[in-house]
Chain A
Amino acid sequence: MSAAVREGVRQVMAWLHGWVGLLLGWVLFVMCLAGTLSVFKPEIGQWMRPETVATADPADAVQAATDWLAKNSKGSTGWYLTAPNDRSNTVEAAYDSDGAFLYRALDPVSGAAAPRETLGGEFFYRLHFELELPYPWGRLLASLAAMFMLVALITGIIAHRRIFKDYFTFRPAKGQRSWLDGHNALGVLATPFHLMITFTGLVTLASLSMPWGITALYGSDLAKFYQDFTPGFTQRAPTGEKAALAPVAPMLREAQRQLGGTIGRVYVLNPGDKAALVTVYRSDADQIGFNPSQISFDGVTGKPLGTWRETRGAIQTYNIVYGLHMARFAPLATRWLYFLGGVMLTLAIATGMVLWIVKRRERAPLSLGNRILERLNAGFLGGVPLGCAAYLLANRLLPLGLNGRAELEVSIALWTAAAALAIGIALKPRWSWPLLTGATALACAVSALIGLPPSMMSAVLLATAASLALLVRKQLRGPAKRPERKRHAAT
């Protein structure tokens, strides 16, 4: 390949990288930010429920949870529980009651819902791939965005001239040059992570976004596919005849004896029915592969029905790809690396979006479309973090025992982000940026400081607030070195 052709290829790739990144950049920003926070999903939950401090043996805690759910849910088709572990002291319960789907963290001793009712880290986790949109649209949009991300990464790599040098290059206060250096460094330093997390993320939604391999072999018989794919998942129709659920603690102890390790998830299907079914999954926190082995019990007699251990190579490969994305296996240090990688990808997207504008502004006055884009950038890139911070602040400020408290926290997050977007559109970027960044810094600092014992998360919030405050200072000083400012001064 001649040098000219190679240069042409780079230009085409840079062009494609820019457009692919721009088109779903804001969606990707939300996904990356929420996904990064989800790395610490249990820890965020702990921070958001400071009153719930009791601990109990996992089997006893799940027993208390099922006792409480038997009294406090109506007409449930299933309770999907996660046993407490060394990262979380509560039983996480997702269940339906009276037709509504609920998520509650249950006290491990009393089994009752935590007084500070909140979705905790589950909000960020769901936002990450469902984007607060109804099924399946949120997941489809997330899949589409992930495909764009993969193309953006690959084209970004091909367009690149000097990957190694960019590890060490940052020229501050030089306008476009600095934004490009920052964008490159953020992308290049963690390229393997970015590729891994995007690819594995795509795979987690594959049954929705790339179902054609399944179609080729199973036609429209999806039930048969799921049965083949996860044969351990036992299901049966409710009989309509009522029967009390047998105590689950002995089932969990039996499960632990047979499966080894610790208890992970516990699914109770058809609770209160004669066809009740209890499936216990071994915790996958000690291995990369997701969803390792499981055992089912008859919910009424407590007799084991069957055990399943996945040993098929291809399925295990899938589970490992899935598990790499979920990062549940990750010990503390690895979890921090996932978090840092996520932060870098989030910032790479944000700097890329800003770069689109900076690059065009330094060449000529911005077109109307790009001026709108510039304002939407401030609204999204400044507003989404503000919404997340407002969610944490609402958790601290809303009174306990409020009806629909958990849902109100989410509404506050979404309305705050919407208001921020409106501010981004209404105000000049040179005012909306410091306003939104400053508000985010303030919300982080206040939520870290009010009322409660200091923790690692409070420290991280304060560090975030401090960094954002420095950013505000820089934003207020203004783009003194930007050429267009000089032009204005000259006229």
Chain B
Amino acid sequence: MAGAAQQRAGWRYRANVAARVVAGTIGAYAVAGLFAMALARILPMDRAQAVVPATLLAFLVGPAVTIWAFLARGPWRAWGGVVAFGALFAAIAWAVGAPA
């Protein structure tokens, strides 16, 4: 047996990576999608045009969040960033509201 300590270290490492993988994939996509919603709603343009910058920039927000999820100092911080930005964008989108 390699020893319980080493196994626990392995388990911890795996959980750490798994948490970051979920944050960096599903989390990153969610933040990008919410960013697109928030930006589409705050841009002072007509609806059809506002969609364009919102969507184009969202494709850059996604990879940025993915990279953050893996560079953050710990899995909690990684998730904290994802949740904070997701909540921020969701709040903006919600506060502005859908156009009448």
Contact = CB atoms under 8 A, between A and B. Distances in A.
A12 B71 contact: yes
Q: Is the interface of B mostly helix, strand, loop or mixed?
A: helix
B82 interface: no
How many chain B residues sit at the interface, stated as a range, is: 20 to 34
B67 A213 contact: no
A214 interface: yes
Contact of A312 (B40, B49, B98): B49
A210 B67 contact: no
Given A12-B71, A13-B67, A202-B59, A212 B48 contact: no
Interface string A208-222: 001011111111000
Contacts of A315: 48-49, 52
A150 B63 CA distance: 7
A217 B59 contact: no
B63 A213 contact: no
A217 B41 contact: yes
B59 A213 contact: no
Contact of A206 (B41, B46, B55): B55
Contacts of B49: 312-315
Contact of A16 (B53, B55, B70): B70
A215 B53 CA distance: 14
How many chain A residues sit at the interface, stated as a range, is: 20 to 34
Interface in A121-173: 147, 150-151, 154-155, 158
A203 interface: yes
Contacts of A154: 63, 67
Interface in A3-19: 9, 12-13, 15-16
Interface string B45-64: 11111111111101110110
Interface string A183-221: 000000000000000010011001000101111111100
Given A202-B59, A206-B59, A317-B52, A217 B66 contact: no
24 contacts: A12-B70, A13-B67, A15-B70, A150-B62, A154-B67, A155-B67, A199-B59, A206-B59, A210-B32, A212-B36, A212-B37, A213-B36, A213-B39, A215-B37, A216-B37, A217-B41, A217-B47, A217-B98, A225-B51, A228-B48, A314-B50, A314-B52, A314-B53, A318-B56
Interface of A: 9, 12-13, 15-16, 147, 150-151, 154-155, 158, 199, 202-203, 206, 210, 212-219, 225, 228-229, 312-315, 317-318, 321
Q: Which 10 A-B pairs have the closest CB atoms?
A: A314-B49, A213-B54, A228-B48, A216-B37, A213-B40, A213-B36, A212-B33, A314-B52, A212-B36, A216-B40
